[in-house]
A and B are shown apart, each in its own frame.
Chain A
Amino acid sequence: MTRVGVVTFPGSLDDRDAQRAVRLAGAEPVALWHGDHDLQGVDAIVLPGGFSYGDYLRCGAIASLSPIMAEVIAAANSGVPVLGICNGFQMLTEAHLLPGGLIRNDHGSFICRDQVLRVENTDTAWTTGYTTGAEITIPLKNGEGGFIADAETIARLEGDGRVVFRYVDVNPNGSINDIAGISNERGNVVGLMPHPEHAIEEGFGPDTSVAMRNGTDGLTMFTSAISALISA
């Protein structure tokens, strides 16, 4: 069975939600520990959301220097699928696996809402199951989710199609070009601020026009990576 590691850092909050998402997507979740130098042979890695180290120094900065991140960086550079969600996205930028950075929301407040995203790139390891241009709804919850980068980096990301998800209707945090998620050049590393692991099971997801809390648009992110690994 495909094994997907979820790294727990001090202050991770959504590690068990991510593990549950992996299980519902049909793979075996493997709990990984920040202090180890061991990926336990997993086929893919999720860096979950939360407030590692209390967001001290900068969000994700101290976690990005954790022992296990040496192995995560090496795995990412060898093509292993890596998904960073919220705080995990912040760690990926701090670890220089993804360009740019995340700063405090432009309006200064923490925000929690069901957010519509447009899937802009369906060639990454985590988005092959979506159709290009699909609009999906998954929860967003952050205080420091404003994506920024210098103009040259933004032009490169846009030109190379590395903007994977874009906010629709509302830009909730001041991100440049409504960018919600990006990928590395190879497409195996994806980071996004919204939380796909909170929209994976009917009864526990965002509201839809059909019923309350039955949105499962986030599940495809996990099944995309897992089905690619199975067919590989």
Chain B
Amino acid sequence: MPTIVVEVMPKAELLDPQGKAVAGALSRLGKSQYTGVRIGKRFELTVDEVTDAVLADVRDLANEMFSNSVIEDVVSITVAGSTPLVHDDSLAVSIETVDEN
């Protein structure tokens, strides 16, 4: 079953307290090479068939439901090749990038 993946991130200019907390933990572990952490969301939508109509609908959902444009950006919508028994992002084909920061 094909899977469409939508990724949403908090807006770059906004404080991301979750990312900040993880960054603090990394720093306490002595991992000073990581100067920042931001945490976003990944939605995986399983469909019977990927069609232009489905992709258009996902684009609308991504902008109107999966994200809130006041606080978040949709950073990618991709179609994964097959049933993601193994997550392998190298197989993913990017079809659109919205509001890439």
Residue numbers of A with Cβ under 8 A of B are 57-58, 61, 65, 93-94, 99-101, 103-108, 146, 148-150, 174
Contacts and interface: CB of A to CB of B under 8 A. Distances in A.
Contact of B17 (A65, A100, A105, A148): A105
B66 A103 contact: no
B68 to A, nearest CB: 6
Interface string B12-53: 001101101100000000000000000000000000000000
Contacts of A58: 68, 71-72
Contacts of B18: 104, 108
Q: Range of interface residues on chain B? A: 10 to 19
A106 B72 CA distance: 16
Contacts of A105: 17
A36 B14 CA distance: 36
B56 interface: no
Contact of B70 (A101, A108, A174): A101
28 contacts: A57-B65, A57-B66, A58-B68, A58-B71, A58-B72, A61-B65, A61-B68, A65-B65, A101-B68, A101-B70, A101-B71, A103-B10, A103-B14, A103-B15, A103-B71, A104-B17, A104-B18, A106-B15, A106-B17, A108-B17, A108-B18, A108-B20, A108-B21, A146-B15, A148-B14, A148-B70, A149-B70, A174-B15
A200 to B, nearest CB: 31
A99 B69 CA distance: 11
A148 B68 contact: no
Contacts, number: 37
Interface of B: 10, 14-15, 17-18, 20-21, 65-66, 68, 70-72
Of listed A58, A100, A146, A149, residue having the most chain B CB within 10 A: A58
A60 to B, nearest CB: 10
Nearest to A108: B17
A174 B71 CA distance: 14
B5 to A, nearest CB: 16
Contacts of B65: 57, 61, 65
A67 B52 CA distance: 29
A146 B16 CA distance: 11
A148 B11 CA distance: 11
A150 B68 CA distance: 13
A37 to B, nearest CB: 20
**Nearest 10 CB-CB pairings of A with B:** A101-B70, A108-B17, A101-B71, A104-B17, A108-B21, A103-B71, A101-B68, A58-B68, A106-B15, A100-B70
A224 B46 CA distance: 50
Nearest to A101: B70
